[in-house]
Amino acid sequence: MKIYNILIFVIITNCFSSVFGAENVKKIVFSIDLKKEIGSTTWLYIQKGFTEANEKKADAVLIHMNTYGGEVLYADSIRTKIINSKIPVYVFVDNNAASAGALIAIACDKIFMRKGGSIGAATVVNETGAQMPDKYQSYMRATMRSTAESHGKDTIINGNDTTYKWKRDPLIAEAMVDDRTVIPNIIDSGKTLTFTALEAVKYGYCEGIAESVDDVLTKHLQLDNYELVSFEPSAWDNIKGFLMSSIIQSLLIMLIIGGIYFELQTPGIGFPLGVAITAAILYFAPLYIDGLASNWEILIFIIGLVLLGLEIFVIPGFGIAGVSGISLIVAGLTLSMLNNVDFDFRPVETGSLGKALLTVIGGIALSFALIIYLSSKIGTKGMFSKFALKTSMDNTSGYIGVSMDELKLVGKIGFASTVLRPSGKVSVDGVVYDAISEEGFIEKGMKVMVIRYEAGQIHVNKVD
């Protein structure tokens, strides 16, 4: 009987300790700030942040957002990362989730907004703010719809009736991109949809209004006992993110190609080669350190440069070596940007190859534009005039390439000092000159007449 009582006591004690112990365990919430333009740097933050969150076994990831948007390609990569995350991802919109920021916010499991905040306006625009063609809008519309659809539907039971309602209406997500989308009582045609915080709550695009991160965690997520761990980017993260921007990479490729071209146009080793080498280091270094660029990918880039040099300086014409060199240069620059393992391209994300190839081709196109522009400017006004020799060496200034004394010999008679076959020597007025026969061989001792003088050479004919 005593043993039976002891067993019951132990079981009850364990149950109570499990329940109350679980309540006392701190929930780890990993916070990542997204408070700048969406691009390569923010994509790097998300990648490293999610890796650290998994290492720390975080219970949730909270993105603290305040952005006006950015590059769609990086926003799509961040969206995909969030949707595929096994850890719940929440977002606190601290004022703005515009354009690419709206796409990222919609991908999160729950959205919380500060009062007075806004979300939407996801139309694709270029650098000047002008709306891009419809093929870009079409892709963004589909991406926004599919992101909203990824959260599924709620089942609503009303008596004997069962209906299904989208948690986030895909048509609303589309209206944030396309001003032609009409949703009765929400948006009219000709306007791009942007929600205020209260409107977002009303139409299912916000789970609650909060004034701070703590407000989100305690009031809305009911986490009274939590530990907030923040992602702290290093200085190298910011430098690497900057250098890995598609715009910066295109500019570096432009400097590599342009520097090599101008170095080939000038004697010796000078400033253009230094620019090309520096740009190549800045291009490959972050990719190599990040594990994207392998030794063999950098090697084929160097082999491409060697083949192109051989084609220009050694092999006449333009053939296999030149085409192979250009192909290897493009391949080396492109493959260095991909997350492949040797020749295994399965880890490469969809669209990464096209993005990398577009960046490389864009950089090469910019380099040719730069070459044409600088070629027209060198030697004229401005800073580029210092790179050109502007002194004109004409006859009036005393610059003569060859002696013109022999010009007075034209029409005079002499004789062949040697056999002309057809070149040889002739004697005119007792002075021996090099000469060329224009009538074939002339035997030694025969009379000749000087008929013309050009390029430093006397031309003669036989005199019968």
Cβ atoms within 10 Å of 144's Cβ, excluding its own: 26
Do 182 and 253 belong together in one domain? Answer: no
Q: Work out how many domains the chain is built from and give that number.
A: 3
Model confidence pLDDT, tens digit, residues 256-298: 888 877 777 666 566 788 888 888 888 888 877 766 778 888 8
Inform me whether the pLDDT recorded for 1 exceeds 60. no
Q: What pLDDT, in 10s, does the model give residues 399-451? A: 555 566 777 888 889 989 998 888 889 998 888 888 888 887 888 889 999 98
**Same structural domain, 352 and 425:** no
Residue 393 belongs to some domain of the structure? no
pLDDT at 230 over 90: yes
Residues 185 and 241 in one domain: no
Whether 29 and 49 share a structural domain: yes
What's the CA gap between 183 and 428, in Å, rounded?
A: 103
- 361, part of any domain: yes
The yes-or-no verdict on residue 324 having pLDDT over 90 is no
> Is 217 in the same domain as 85?
yes
User: What band does 228 get if pLDDT is binned at 50, 70 and 90?
Assistant: very high
Same domain as 332, residue 273: yes
Residue 455 tokens read as 């390029």
Angle between helices 134-149 and 100-107 (to 10 degrees): 20
The confidence band for 2, taking pLDDT boundaries of 50, 70 and 90, is low
Range of the domain at 221: 2-233
Higher pLDDT, 7 or 357: 357
Instruction: Kindly report, residue by residue over 183-219, the tens digit of the pLDDT.
Output: 988 888 778 999 999 999 999 999 999 999 999 999 9
Cβ-contact 113, 93 below 8 angstroms: yes
Average pLDDT for residues 229-242, to the nearest whole number? 87
Q: Is the pLDDT of residue 14 over 90?
A: no
| 104 vs 296: which has the higher pLDDT | 104
Same domain, 55 and 16: yes
Q: Give the residue carrying structure tokens 């224009």.
A: 438
- The type of residue at 98 is A
Supply the CATH number for residue 123's domain.
3.90.226.10
Residue 391 lies in a domain: no
pLDDT band at 454 (very low <50, low <70, confident <90, very high): confident
pLDDT at 4: 53
| Residue 245 CB neighbour total at 10 angstroms | 18
Residue 212 has a pLDDT of 93
Helix axes 235-243, 246-264, angle to 10 degrees: 60
Region 151-165 average pLDDT? 83
- Rounded to an integer, what distance in angstroms lies between the CA atom of residue 40 and that of residue 241? 5
Q: Provide the pLDDT for residue 102.
A: 95
Residue 436 lies in a domain: yes
**What is residue 351's predicted lDDT score, i.e. its pLDDT?**
67
